[in-house]
Structure 1
């Protein structure tokens, strides 16, 4: 739009609504391209040469997560029953350091389901392990689904979920192979009992 100025010159100006609309469009494009609100999901089904009870023990032994799982810097079982465990975990990477509580339901020797309880980190967290006996090995169906409350953390994790999911799964496989040298039967009984 053109209007004369008090100094005798013609000045062109652009209405503010133009900038608002163009800024909104840029922001929407940015949001739809880089910011996602979708759940982060990883699933892998793999055959593992390991005994089922050893792998089951490895997944249930939350106290040892801090020694072998990526980004877990502290882990402790706080309550035990015959059907579930409660645990406190601390997750840390270059972006954040957060603690959260987990509820671990299990049905020996086949399924383990983990969910987050009260947490500032997750909207929700669900991890499922289904362990099936096969000839000469076991089949592990690993599934993780979560959404982080912080958008920056969420988008960072969304970009790396395939790599992170694979790291988590293979960390459990390596740890279960190390546990195969231990007397897991007595360890598992002590872990499941109150």
Structure 2
């Protein structure tokens, strides 16, 4: 009898845990749809909606992540030889993503107001290609935070960049965080095979771009200072 009671107690606890996970996931789905409703109407969320949205994901995503094996999350921190202001401008310039970000076929800013903007990006891998819209919150030169509503491509996408002072004035601690879940099983399967390589190439691409832009600025500055003679 004692052994049976122990089994029943264990079974009851497992059921309660599963019920809690289901409730969290259900709340996550419904709240997410509520915050994304303005996008379905064709408008970007207001600042108030953004704050609710950010708090929701910050508080809820960590709780549901362990129960969702299809979600993918990556965080890395690098010390890079650029100023915070320079890195911030490179990441903010979404219109240029199509020229250097891996698998980005097109990128453009479709709406901008103050420190918030909406961008449309097209991503593709071989014969696959999809568009999605991101809402971007800017805090120069400290951070850039990106949220994408529920689309055909993603169930959700969270992307955050933080630019923190390095040990000397011309260096920065770059922090990169991304968390997402694809709606398509095919995309999910592809990412599962190359996930770590993909995210590392993403950050490296921005670092390389920062170096390229800095070199172009130096060359232009040198041309302005040194008169060319025939």
TM bracket, shorter-chain basis: 0.7 to 0.9
* Structure 2 unmatched runs, 5+: 1-67, 218-230
Does residue 45 of the first structure (1) align with residue 77 of the second (2)? yes
Post-superposition CA distance 1:15-36 (Å, at most 9, x none): xxxxxxxxxxxxxxxxxxxxx8
Report the CA distance between 1:88 and its aligned residue.
Answer: 0.5
Aligned to 2:111: 79
Residue of structure 1 equivalent to 2:198: 164
RMSD over equivalenced CA pairs, Å: 1.7
Q: Which has the higher helix share?
A: 2
Distance of 1:73 and 1:151 partners within structure 2: 21
Q: Point out which structure has higher relative CO (alpha carbons under 8 A, 6+ apart).
A: 1
Higher CA-based Rg: 1
- Residues in 1 aligned to 2:86 and 2:149: alpha-carbon distance in whole angstroms: 27
Contact map agreement 1:100 1:118 (CA 8 A) in 2? no
- Secondary structure of 2:149's counterpart equals strand
Distance 2:69 2:184 in 1: 10
Could you say what secondary structure the match of 2:163 adopts? strand
- Structure 1 distance, partners of 2:167, 2:181, is 37
1:111 matched to 2:124: no
Cα distance, 1:117 vs structure 2: 2.7
1:69 aligned counterpart, secondary structure = coil
Could you say which structure has the higher strand fraction?
1
Partner of 1:174: 208
> Cα offset for 1:148?
0.3
Task: Name 1:60's counterpart in structure 2.
Answer: 92
Separation in structure 1 between the aligned mates of residue 186 and residue 197 of structure 2, nearest angstrom: 18
Aligned residues: 149
Measure, in 1, the Cα distance between the counterparts of 2:129 and 2:208: 25
Verify the 8 A CA contact 2:150 2:156 in the aligned structure 1. Answer: no
